[in-house]
């Protein structure tokens, strides 16, 4: 399988401090990848670099052979950790907006997911709960036929009963030639869907490998290993 993401000697510096420090990483197509680490470890910085919201201080970064930019934005679908949508818009207007903005957006799929979550297309964002807003954002992101999905804390604000549905939505809506990167600290909830696990600590990769192989080698779950690695 080809590498969808290639990162070589990547650095990102803020005010003299390295948020990312000499990161080297390859990620293949067709994977669900857990980018795991405590707050401040560099997860969101890496995701923003992949999405061209930040630029590197040094090193190289490629998505499908291209440096992040206008062309990669056509193949990257990004869910930020905070809402960026206009509160006055309803779900139907948001679907129309995304449909106009992205050539790969599938409106039919978006409406089907709204219906399965009992969210009315006429419901305005400002009247939705925090969890429902996050579901709508995820629906919009996963309704694109992207090569790379970057999901920053996709289940952080939803109730446990909805997490299984959200994970099912992620699994069912990406193809063999695309990759999903999920950044989260809720390891036990997502562990079952992960193909690859990346632990990041103080801006450096401290573990990277196949999820099943890591569990077998370490003799414990990814969640337990995470608690051991990042114990206070």
The overall average pLDDT reported for the chain is 90
| Least confident residue range of 54-58, 172-176, 217-221 | 172-176
- Domain 3-229: homologous superfamily in CATH: P-loop containing nucleotide triphosphate hydrolases (3.40.50.300)
pLDDT: is 144 or 159 the higher one?
144
pLDDT value of position 133: 87
Q: What is the pLDDT of residues 111-145, one digit of tens each?
A: 998 998 889 999 999 999 888 888 899 899 999 99
Does the pLDDT value for residue 232 go beyond 70?
A: no
Report the pLDDT value the prediction gives residue 110, as an integer from 0 to 100. 94
pTM (predicted TM-score)? 0.92
- What sign does the dihedral 206-211-216-219 (CA atoms) show? positive
- 3 state SS for the chain: CCEEEEEEEEEEEECCEEEEEEEEEEEECCCEEEEECCCCCCHHHHHHHHCCCCCCCEEEEEECCECCCHHHHCCEEEECCCCCCCCCCEHHHHHHHHHHHCCCECHHHHHHHHHHCCCCCCCEHHHCCHHHHHHHHHHHHHCECCCEEEEECCCCCCCHHHHHHHHHHHHHCCCCCCEEEEEECCHHHHHHHCCEEEEEECCEEEEEEEHHHHHHHHCCCHHHHHHHHCCC
């Amino acid at each position: 399988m080809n590498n969808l993401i290639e990162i070589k000697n990547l650095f990102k510096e803020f005010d003299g401090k390295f948020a990312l420090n000499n990161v080297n990483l390859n990620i293949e197509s067709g994977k669900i990848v857990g980018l795991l680490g405590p707050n401040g470890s560099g997860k969101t910085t890496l995701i923003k670099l992949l999405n061209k919201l930040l630029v590197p201080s040094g090193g190289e970064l490629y998505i499908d052979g291209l440096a992040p930019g206008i062309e990669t934005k056509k193949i990257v679908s990004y869910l930020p950790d905070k809402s960026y949508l206009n509160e006055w818009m309803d779900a139907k207007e948001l679907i129309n907006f995304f449909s106009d903005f992205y050539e790969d957006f599938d409106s039919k799929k978006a409406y089907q997911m709204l219906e399965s979550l009992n969210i009315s297309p006429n419901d305005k964002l400002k009247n939705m709960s925090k969890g429902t807003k996050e579901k709508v954002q995820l629906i919009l992101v996963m309704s694109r036929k992207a090569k790379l999905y970057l999901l920053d804390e996709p289940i952080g604000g939803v109730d446990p009963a909805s997490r299984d549905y959200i994970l099912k939505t992620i699994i069912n809506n990406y193809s063999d030639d695309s990759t999903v990167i999920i950044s989260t600290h809720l390891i036990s909830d997502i562990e079952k869907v992960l193909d690859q696990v990346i632990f990041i600590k103080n801006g450096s990769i401290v573990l990277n490998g196949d999820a099943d192989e890591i569990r077998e080698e370490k003799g414990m779950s990814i969640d337990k290993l995470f608690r051991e690695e990042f114990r206070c």
